[in-house]
């Protein structure tokens, strides 16, 4: 068995390393590549992805997994090798079910659709995207149909990002959340709005950067095993457990973007840096789901980084970095500014309180599209109606409406949005659990100390990597199923404060 297991690990290591190499090429493309490098780079990344895929779906992988199945079961659910075999088998079963031809068509259509969208969005032109979306919807259904036996057609698509989650349960959870959030938002908006003008002053990039990097270093992001660079859109990427990088961007006349982007991506990165080093170059060496990943970015960005205790400690330091900009601004004013609640049209600009309403609109609409209960002709209007009912505002044009997010226009409808709100829900759930174990955590944050929180997260969330699914992890950590109660309590406590 050890020989077979080594064979499997060698094979998986090559798959991981090919994907990791492709990730390096992608990072370079987004950070430093000169314009002339673009045509070859796309080709090179496609080659590496194809080779990784071919090696993974090779029947030899399947035979090794078959041979190791009984061995894995004999080891018990908590054994690392058993977890590896289990995870590899699930990935393998999924990968071999999708015909290469469909994958290739999807990828080609996705590229065309994305290209068309970049122009159509600027031109506020839903009509052009309408037939593209029709095709995307068709491909998405065909992709789902590679996994017969689903309860809901969105289930296989959700499963790609948030393994084990199903449309029916997510929908129920979100309906419950929405039913509470909409009236809570109304209640919050009855209060006088915060003055966030202090954030819109001139904040030189170098100081923004230095302050942000100082903060994430103290939080626990390890610069010996990572680095931060600038990109148009911030992201985290990993080339091995020893090299987990983040990118950010800075607005010279707005403080609220760069700093919180940096913390957000560092949250993702600390998750991957914290994975058990013995999982290096295996399918376990990743975050376990989009939702759990987002729980860590949002926990550090919002639950910690926008908390009062955090700024009790850091605000004086921020003032000393920006004395001209913030010297005359009270801590309380600054705290309210970075937590200002204001319904807006754009998801990515949304505050912590309204963000999930944006997400759930998309989730519900894509389910309706997949089910066929909503027609693409009616989508823009359905979008506006939900914005009006949930957020009290709606975009007249489609540019800031249905055309705003890339997700539906890059190849698949379904499965890409639920993780954002799952992440918020889990961020509060995990944080509460950490506080139950270590009630001293808020006081420590108030002294700029994150070791206890980071240590608890590392042991309980990070270290297992992808060994347990999100649901299994929640069950293990909290002793129960996923629940929105801690998140709602957190939001109420913070915004009705």
Least Cβ distance, residue 67 to a second copy (angstroms)? 24
Q: Say how many CA atoms lie within 13 Å of 346 toward its Cβ.
A: 6
Instruction: Tell me if 345 contacts a second copy by CB under 8 A.
Output: no
Instruction: Tell me if 48 contacts a second copy by CB under 8 A.
Output: yes
Residue 338, both tokens: 């970075």
**What does the alpha-carbon distance between residue 86 and residue 281 come to, in Å, rounded to a whole number?**
16
Q: Does residue 264 have a known ligand-binding role? A: yes
Q: Give the angle subtended at the CA of 167 by the CAs of 163 and 172, to the nearest 5°.
A: 120
Q: Say how many CA atoms lie within 13 Å of 337 toward its Cβ.
A: 20
451 and 444 Cβ atoms separated by less than 8 Å: yes
Q: Does residue 268 have a known ligand-binding role? A: yes
Binding range to a second copy, per CB under 8 A, among 16-24, 80-88, 181-189, 438-446: 16-24
Binding mask 207-246 for a second copy (x = CB under 8 A): ---------------xxxxxx-x---------xxxxx-x-
Binding mask 278-317 for a second copy (x = CB under 8 A): --xx------------------------------------
Q: Kindly tell me which of 40 and 70 has the beta carbon lying closer to a second copy.
A: 40
Q: Give the angle subtended at the CA of 236 by the CAs of 232 and 237, to the nearest 5°.
A: 110
- Concerning whether 449 is annotated as a catalytic residue, the answer is no
Q: Kindly tell me which of 35 and 183 has the beta carbon lying closer to a second copy.
A: 35
343 and 352 Cβ atoms separated by less than 8 Å: no
Instruction: Tell me if 25 contacts a second copy by CB under 8 A.
Output: yes
The pairing of strands 236-240 and 243-248 is: antiparallel
**What does the alpha-carbon distance between residue 347 and residue 456 come to, in Å, rounded to a whole number?**
31
Pick the catalytic residue: 213, 265, 272, 301?
Answer: 265
Residue 445, both tokens: 């944050």
Instruction: Pick the closest to residue 20 from 286, 232, 258, 225 (CA basis).
Output: 286
292 and 470 Cβ atoms separated by less than 8 Å: yes
Tokens 């994958």, residue located: 103
Q: Kindly tell me which of 243 and 398 has the beta carbon lying closer to a second copy.
A: 243
Least Cβ distance, residue 246 to a second copy (angstroms)? 11
302: which DSSP letter? I
**Candidate residues 7, 17, 105, 125; the one interacting with a second copy per rule CB under 8 A:** 17
Site for a second copy in 115-144 (CB under 8 A): none
- In angstroms, the Cα distances linking 286 to 10, 57, 332, 339 are 17, 19, 39, 31
Instruction: Tell me if 493 contacts a second copy by CB under 8 A.
Output: no
Q: Does residue 294 have a known ligand-binding role? A: yes
33: which DSSP letter? -
Number of residues that bind a second copy (CB under 8 A): 41
Least Cβ distance, residue 216 to a second copy (angstroms)? 14
Instruction: Tell me if 457 contacts a second copy by CB under 8 A.
Output: no
Catalytic residue numbers, as ranges: 265
* Contact residues: a second copy, CB under 8 A: 13-14, 17-18, 20-22, 24-25, 27-28, 32-41, 43-44, 47-48, 51, 222-227, 229, 239-243, 245, 280-281
């Amino acid at each position: 068995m050890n020989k077979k297991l080594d064979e499997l690990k060698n094979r998986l290591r090559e798959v991981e390393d090919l994907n990791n190499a492709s990730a390096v090429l992608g990072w370079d493309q987004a950070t430093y590549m000169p314009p002339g490098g673009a045509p070859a780079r796309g080709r090179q990344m496609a080659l590496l992805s194809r080779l990784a895929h071919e090696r993974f779906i090779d029947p030899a992988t399947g035979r090794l997994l078959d041979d190791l199945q009984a061995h894995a079961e004999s080891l018990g659910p908590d054994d690392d090798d058993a977890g590896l075999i289990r995870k590899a088998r699930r990935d393998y079963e999924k990968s071999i079910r999708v015909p290469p031809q469909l994958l290739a068509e999807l990828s080609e259509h996705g590229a065309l659709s994305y290209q068309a969208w970049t122009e159509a969005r600027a031109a506020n032109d839903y009509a052009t995207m309408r037939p593209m979306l029709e095709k995307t919807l068709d491909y998405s259904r065909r992709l789902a149909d590679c996994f017969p036996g689903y309860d809901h057609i969105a289930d296989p698509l959700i499963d790609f990002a948030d393994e084990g989650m199903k449309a029916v349960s997510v929908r129920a959870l979100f309906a419950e959340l929405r039913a509470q959030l909409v009236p809570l938002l109304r209640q919050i908006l009855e209060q006088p709005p915060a003055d966030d003008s202090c954030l819109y002053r001139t904040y030189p990039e170098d100081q923004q950067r230095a302050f942000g990097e100082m903060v994430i270093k103290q939080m626990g992001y390890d610069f010996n095993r990572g680095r931060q660079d600038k990109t148009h859109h911030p992201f985290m990427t990993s080339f091995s457990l020893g090299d987990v990088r983040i990118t950010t961007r800075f607005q010279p006349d707005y403080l609220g973007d760069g700093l919180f982007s940096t913390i957000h991506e560092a949250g993702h990165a600390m998750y991957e840096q914290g994975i058990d080093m013995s999982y290096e170059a295996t399918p376990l060496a990743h975050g376990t789901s989009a939702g759990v990943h987002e729980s860590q970015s949002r926990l550090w960005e919002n639950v910690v980084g926008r908390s009062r205790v955090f700024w009790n400690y850091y605000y004086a330091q921020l003032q000393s970095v920006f004395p001209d900009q913030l010297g005359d601004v009270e801590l309380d004013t600054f705290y309210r500014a970075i937590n200002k609640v204001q319904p807006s049209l754009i998801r990515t600009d949304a505050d912590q309180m309204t963000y999930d309403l944006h997400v759930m609109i998309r989730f519900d609409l894509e389910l309706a599209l997949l089910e066929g209960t909503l027609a693409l002709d009616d989508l823009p209007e359905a979008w506006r109606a939900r914005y009006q009912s949930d957020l009290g505002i709606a975009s007249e044009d489609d540019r800031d409406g249905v055309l705003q997010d890339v997700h539906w226009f890059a190849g698949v409808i379904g499965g890409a949005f639920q993780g954002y709100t799952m992440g918020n829900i889990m961020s509060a759930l995990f944080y509460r659990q950490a506080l139950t174990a270590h009630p001293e955590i808020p006081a420590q944050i108030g002294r700029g100390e994150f070791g206890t929180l980071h240590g608890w997260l590392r042991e309980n969330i990070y270290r297992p990597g992808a060994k347990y699914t999100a649901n299994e992890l929640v069950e293990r950590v909290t002793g129960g199923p996923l629940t929105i109660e801690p998140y709602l309590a957190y939001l109420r406590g913070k915004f009705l404060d």
